[in-house]
Structure formats: C-alpha cells, structure tokens
A and B are shown apart, each in its own frame.
Chain A
C-alpha cells in the first residue's frame, strides 16, 4: 500500500465562506491525497484536536473574516504544545500583504492569496508531506 498524504482543511473563525476551502480540498483529492474537511466555524483547539486524531501531514487554514493574525498563530502554538509541531501549517483567504511576513514569522509555512494557481498549492502540500 502506497503511503498517502493526509491533509486537514479547516475554517477557523466565524465567516461562512468556504468555497475556497472546498476548491482546495477537491484539488488535493484529485492529486491523490486524503483530505479531511472539518466544516465551518472551528476553534483553533478543535482544529488541532482533529489534526492529531487524523494524524495529518499538514493543515490548510482558510479565513476570510480578518481574524487570521489571531487564529493562524494560535493553531501553530497549540500544535507545538501537543508535541505535534512537525505538522506543517499553511493559510489562505483574504490576507493583507503586510501580514504575510508576520504570519510566516509565527510559523505559518506559506500563505496563499486569491488567484494562486491550484497546481502551486498541490505542489506545496506534496513537498510539505515529504518534510521539505
């Protein structure tokens, strides 16, 4: 049995816009990955709990409410606290350019804005799962 890449796609915060998250989930599925989608309005605690139980290689966070500066770093922090800092975290949604370096400094490996080609995102998760 070939080793499968497992990715959690999650929506922290209170906005209800999950079209983007679903498109990403579908693209990763079509790239042969197992994608766990957890639905809307998840707390960072919920997301980290799900990531640990599902033993995923990476988490993709989607946020369009503007709360990313609070929610994304919180996920990274909680993962570390649960001995799971090896799970790669990426983010997407409406993220102002100025916030990107700050998020990266807080441990978000990559930030994907609107218009990012899907192939680019697929490639990122593939590399992330290989530990690179």
Chain B
C-alpha cells in the first residue's frame, strides 16, 4: 500500500535522528515514532529495529478491569506516587474504536490531567483500531518506544474489559486486575478469564463501602502461582487511599520476577508471541501481493470456492509454497556471492 509519509513532515529529520532524540528523552520524537509504527508507515519495521536494542529496562504494568472501576484514576495516583519516588513514568491508555465509523473518543487523559507538563511523565492515548483482546495492535510498540526513552515504569491501561480480554497478561510484566464493590456475588469471582490473570487484584472505590465481601471472595479464589500469591489491595483513587500499599506491592512483584528468573521467562514468552504475530502478518501481506505466492493464493481460493479443495488443505499447500519461495529467494541471493568468491 503506497501512502505518503505524512507524519515525517520535515524530510530533514531522519528515522535515526528521531531515535537519537528519543534516547535523549525528547517527547516529540517519541510521539512521532509511536504514530509512525501505529499507522504502519513504510519505515515502521526499521523504526522497531532501531529502538528494540535500547529496551528492556522498564517495568511494564498492565491494568485491566470493567469500564468505570477507576483504572485511569488509579493510574493517575500511581503516576504521582512514582514521581515523588523519583521515577520517570509512561502511560499507554487504550480506548475502543467505533466498529461503524472507525472513529474514537479517547478520554483517559481527563483523569490524568494533574500530571500536566511534568517532564518525567509521558501519556499516550490509543484507539483499538479493530484489534480485539482489550489492546491495540501497536500498544506494545508504544511501550517499546517509551522503554527506549528511558522511563522506569510504564502503565498500560486496557479498554474497559469484560470477562475474556486477557491479552494484557501475556504482554505485561505485572498484571493488575481492578474491580469495585457491589458488582456481583461470589459466582462472578469464580468465573474463568479476567479474574484468573491478575498478579495483583485491586478493589477500588472502597469509599463506596461494602468492599469486604468482594475482598474476601477474591482472596478465596486467588491461587499461588510460581511462588507468588496475588495480593488483594483495597484502594480509593478518589480519596487517595491504599495507593502506597499498591506501590509497594508492584515493587515487590517486580523483585519477585527478577529473583526467580520469571522476568526472563516472561520476556521470552512475549518474544515468541511477537515473532509469531509478525510472521503471520508478513505471510498475509505476501499472499495479498502480486508475488508468485499471491498468485497461488488466488488459484487456491478459486479451487476452494469451486469445492475442489477444502480450506485446510489449501492452507497447508500455501505454506509449502511460501517455504519454497523463501528458499528460492535465498538461493537467488547465494550464487551472486559464490560468483564473487570464484572471481577473487
């Protein structure tokens, strides 16, 4: 897809300059790089390539839970708390895209308005753009950019999640599930899905009262995993209660991950997922193109439509073609070097 590169409006600024500026903490460069990856501009892959080596320092904390439980307000309190502890903080907040118009209203910043112009805070709102699972496709590329910028802790806020948006748990180092009192009986907390993925559970809005039942129900359900029993923390973002407890729990989980080697394992699991996702996308791009693979894709589609082939068989043939064309590509490149070797 040929699209003019509008984000890089000043041609003098190359990708490399952006990445240099980013590493010096330049917010505008960070914002431009996030856009260019999010919009899938032609330089997106190269940008990720330049940024990735400078990442791996930040603690990535995901926040999920139903709409309106106070995820943004809690993050706002945490941003302040980590700032007073001298940490630099990033936030990537995801809100849903309209399935009808493709538009979105991104409102998480409203709750975080008090961070204002603090140079140690970077907040980016992001629309899901059709991606399911509670995140946008580019959410963790944005995290990567903020990590390379040198931020110490990055909060990722999912769209208000229902019961099965669990993707965040495979991506963040620490997953915080936020609930609020009076939202259901004990059976709600017994259900599979979102209530299984927390490393930390937060019962927010304790100012409403009646939090004891939910806290007890959650404590009854959580199971120790890999030597960590997920704690249940009571907070009120409104009245700024329990925030210090939450901060210390997050720090404790981070050191638990480090000392047990789980941080490394989580990073590898995430890498696996990212490689597979990218491979899937590359393959999809290639079958949709005019390459030999694209042609055999079209031919296979016609066969399936005519009921001469089933979609399963067609898919495995397509993969065989893809493998062969990859090998052909490698072979085509190799003889040139061989010829050069003979000449010398």
Q: Report the count of interface residues on B (CB-CB < 8 A).
A: 35
Cβ contacts B105-132/A at 8 Å (1 or 0 each)? 1110110010011000011110101000
* Option from B3, B9, B110, B116 in Cβ contact (under 8 Å) with A43: B116
Chain A residues lying within 8 Å of B137, measured Cβ to Cβ, are 1
Q: For chain B, what secondary structure do more than half of its interface residues adopt (helix, strand, loop), or is it mixed?
A: mixed
| Chain A interface residues toward B at CB < 8 A | 1-4, 6, 25-26, 28-39, 42-43, 45-46, 49-50, 52-55, 82-84, 86, 131
Contact between chains at A29 and B103 (CB < 8 Å): yes
Contact between chains at A50 and B109 (CB < 8 Å): yes
Chain B residues lying within 8 Å of A49, measured Cβ to Cβ, are 27, 116-117
Closest CB of chain A to B218's CB: distance in Å?
Answer: 32
Q: Contacts A39-B109, A46-B113, A55-B32: A29 and B104 contacting too (C-beta < 8 A)?
A: yes
Closest CB of chain B to A16's CB: distance in Å?
Answer: 14
Contact between chains at A42 and B113 (CB < 8 Å): yes
Contact between chains at A54 and B31 (CB < 8 Å): yes
Closest 6 pairs between A and B when the two form their complex, measured CB to CB: A39-B110, A29-B103, A55-B31, A32-B102, A55-B35, A32-B103
Cα separation A7 to B32 with both chains bound (whole Å): 15
Contact between chains at A29 and B109 (CB < 8 Å): no
Q: Contacts A38-B110, A43-B116: A1 and B40 contacting too (C-beta < 8 A)?
A: yes
Cα separation A32 to B116 with both chains bound (whole Å): 28
Further pairs besides A26-B105, A38-B109, A46-B113: 20, Cβ < 8 Å: A2-B102, A3-B39, A4-B129, A28-B103, A29-B98, A31-B101, A31-B103, A34-B104, A37-B107, A37-B109, A37-B110, A38-B113, A39-B113, A49-B27, A52-B31, A53-B31, A54-B106, A55-B32, A55-B34, A131-B9
* CB<8 Å pairs between A and B, sample of 17: A1-B129, A2-B102, A4-B127, A30-B103, A31-B103, A32-B101, A34-B104, A36-B107, A37-B107, A39-B113, A43-B116, A45-B116, A46-B113, A46-B116, A53-B123, A53-B124, A82-B28
Chain B residues lying within 8 Å of A32, measured Cβ to Cβ, are 98, 101-103
Closest CB of chain B to A120's CB: distance in Å?
Answer: 18
Chain A residues lying within 8 Å of B129, measured Cβ to Cβ, are 1, 4
Check B295 for interface membership: any CB of A closer than 8 A: no
| Chain B interface residues toward A at CB < 8 A | 3, 6-7, 9, 27-28, 30-32, 34-35, 38-40, 97-98, 101-107, 109-110, 113, 116-117, 122-125, 127, 129, 137
Chain B residues lying within 8 Å of A25, measured Cβ to Cβ, are 105
Cα separation A28 to B127 with both chains bound (whole Å): 14
Closest CB of chain A to B76's CB: distance in Å?
Answer: 12
Q: Contacts A3-B39, A45-B116: A33 and B103 contacting too (C-beta < 8 A)?
A: yes
Chain B residues lying within 8 Å of A2, measured Cβ to Cβ, are 102
Contact between chains at B122 and A34 (CB < 8 Å): no
Contact between chains at A83 and B9 (CB < 8 Å): no
Chain B residues lying within 8 Å of A45, measured Cβ to Cβ, are 116-117
Cα separation A114 to B97 with both chains bound (whole Å): 29
Using CB atoms, name the residue of chain B closest to A41: B113
Chain B residues lying within 8 Å of A86, measured Cβ to Cβ, are 9
* Option from B6, B103, B107 in Cβ contact (under 8 Å) with A3: B6
Cα separation A54 to B34 with both chains bound (whole Å): 9
Closest CB of chain B to A44's CB: distance in Å?
Answer: 10
Contact between chains at A53 and B113 (CB < 8 Å): no
Closest CB of chain A to B2's CB: distance in Å?
Answer: 12
Contact between chains at A30 and B102 (CB < 8 Å): no
Cα separation A131 to B4 with both chains bound (whole Å): 12
Chain B residues lying within 8 Å of A54, measured Cβ to Cβ, are 31, 106, 109, 124-125
Using CB atoms, name the residue of chain B closest to A35: B105
Cα separation A32 to B101 with both chains bound (whole Å): 5
